[in-house]
Amino acid sequence: MKAWVLHEVGDIRLETAERPQPQPGEVLVAVKAAGVCGSDIPRIYQTGAHKAPLIPGHEFSGVVEELGKGVSEEWLGKRVGVFPLIPCKNCAPCQKKQYELCKQYDYLGSRRDGGFAEYAAVQAWNLLELPEGVSYEEAAMLEPMAVAVHAMRRAGALEGKSVAVCGLGTIGLLLLMFLLDAGRRGEAAGPGRPEGEKRIFAVGNKELQRETAMRLGLSEENFCDSRTMDAKDWLFERTCGAGADVFFECVGKNETIKQAIRGTAASGRVVLVGNPNSDMSLERDVYWKILRNQLLVTGTWNSSFRHSPEDDWQYALKRIANKQIRPAGLITHSLRMEELEHGLHIMRDKTEAYLKVMGRF
C-alpha cells in the first residue's frame, strides 16, 4: 500500500509499505479521508514521534474491508470514524470509563501507525459507525469536534452569561460552532434585546479567522482582532467591566494564558485547551488575579468515547447527521494522498492561510 512514513524528524516520505494484517479484535480500514492536526506538525518536523518509522495521522475515516479474529461480521463494509486513543482498560481512570485519562494508552498516528496511508489496522472497539449523509471528510473531523465538545462540557459553558474563545484554529472555531448551536448569541447586546442573553466573544489574529467567525454567526462587534486591540480591555468593554464568565484559551502561549486570567470575571472559569508551545510561567500579579478573583483554572484533554449516546463523539456525530454543525466548511485545503506533504509544508511554514488541511485517499 502507499503510505506517508516518518523515518526521523523532518524525514517523511510517500512510499510503498506493507499492508497491515488485522490482529484479533482489529479490523482493516480502507482510509478515505485524513485530516492534518496541528500537533502533527511538531511531531513530524520538530520533536519526532514515540517510535520510528511511523505512519502519522490520527484524524481519519474509511470503510472496514477485513476483519481480525473475534470481530463481528456486522462490521464488514461499514463506513466508520475512528477514535484514535487505545486505552489499557485496566488503570483507575479506565475502570471509571474515563478512557481519555488512561495512564497507559496507545495512540494511532503517534505511538502506532495511523491514517496517512491507504489502510490502517484499528481495534473494533475504536470504531464509530457513520450514518448515511455523513461524508468521509466530515467523519475525519470527528476527533477535533469531540475535543471541542469535551472542552465545552468541562467548562460548564452553557451556564455563564458570557463566554470568550481565544484562538480560532480548528478547535477554537469548532468550539464557536458548538456554542452557537447550543444557544449562545453571537450578536452584540443592545436595545430591544432580552436582558441576560448568553453571549459569546471571540479573539483571533488572522483575517481568515475573522471571516470564518462572521460566516458562522458571530457579529463584527463580538470579534476582537488581537493584532490591533488588547483582548482583555476589549472584553471588559464588551461586558461592562465584568469580564467573561468562561474563557477558553485555545492557543497554548504564555501571553494568551495571561489574557485569559485577566479577562475572566470574578468567580469565573479559565479553560486551558491549547497544547503548550513552550514552558509556561505566571507572573506574580497574574497569579494574584487567580487568587483574588477566585478563578477556577481547569484543563481539558482529548474526548470521551464510551459507546454511549452521551459521550462526546456521539454528541458531535448527531449534530453532523442533523446538519446542525457543518465542519466541512472549515476545510480550506483538500488534497490527494500524493499531495499531502504540500499541506504539511503550508502548515509548517505558514505560506498560505489555512484552517483544516484534509487528505483524500
- pLDDT over threshold 60, residue 222: yes
User: Do 131 and 191 share a domain, yes or no?
Assistant: no
Q: What is the pLDDT of residue 191?
A: 43
Q: 141-174: per-residue pLDDT in tens? A: 999 999 999 999 998 755 668 999 999 999 999 9
Q: 82-106: per-residue pLDDT in tens? A: 999 999 999 999 999 999 999 999 9
Residue 151, judged by CB atoms within 10 A of its CB (0-12, 13-18, 19+), counts as buried
Rounded to whole angstroms, how far apart are CA atoms 98 and 89? 10
Take residue 291 and report the three cell numbers written for it: 487568587
SS3 content of the chain, % helix, strand, coil (to 5): 30, 25, 40
Looking at residue 54, the DSSP 8-state letter turns out to be: B
User: How many domains are there within the chain?
Assistant: 2
Q: 122-139: per-residue pLDDT in tens? A: 999 999 999 999 999 999
What CATH number should be reported for the domain holding residue 59?
3.90.180.10
The 3-state DSSP class for residue 112 equals strand
- Distance (Å) of CA 139 to CA 147, 300, 336: 14, 22, 17
Buried-state track 180-219, b at ≥16 Cβ within 10 A, e below 16: beeebbbeebeeeeeeeebbbbbbbbbeebbebbeebbbe
User: Do 115 and 45 share a domain, yes or no?
Assistant: yes
Classify residue 179: in a domain, yes or no. yes
Q: 315-350: per-residue pLDDT in tens? A: 999 999 999 999 999 999 999 999 999 999 999 999
The 3-state DSSP class for residue 84 equals coil
Classify residue 31: in a domain, yes or no. yes
Instruction: Respond yes or no on whether the N-terminal peptide bond of residue 84 is cis (omega within 30° of 0).
Output: no
Closest C-alpha to 50, from 109, 110, 106: 110
The band of 192, judged by pLDDT with boundaries at 50, 70 and 90, is very low
Mean pLDDT of 17-29: 98
Classify residue 310: in a domain, yes or no. no
Single pTM value for the model: 0.95
User: Do 249 and 274 share a domain, yes or no?
Assistant: yes
User: Do 59 and 158 share a domain, yes or no?
Assistant: no
User: Do 350 and 221 share a domain, yes or no?
Assistant: no
Inter-residue contact 319 to 181 (CB < 8 Å): yes
Inter-residue contact 178 to 148 (CB < 8 Å): yes
Mean pLDDT of 20-47: 97
Largest alpha-carbon pair distance within the chain?
65
Mean pLDDT of 27-50: 96
Q: What is the pLDDT of residue 317?
A: 98
User: Do 276 and 195 share a domain, yes or no?
Assistant: yes
- Residue numbers of the domain that contains 155: 148-299
Classify residue 308: in a domain, yes or no. no
Q: 259-275: per-residue pLDDT in tens? A: 999 999 999 999 999 99
What CATH number should be reported for the domain holding residue 282?
3.40.50.720
User: Do 267 and 344 share a domain, yes or no?
Assistant: no
User: Do 192 and 133 share a domain, yes or no?
Assistant: no
Q: What is the dihedral of CA 222, 225, 226, 231, to 10 degrees?
A: -20
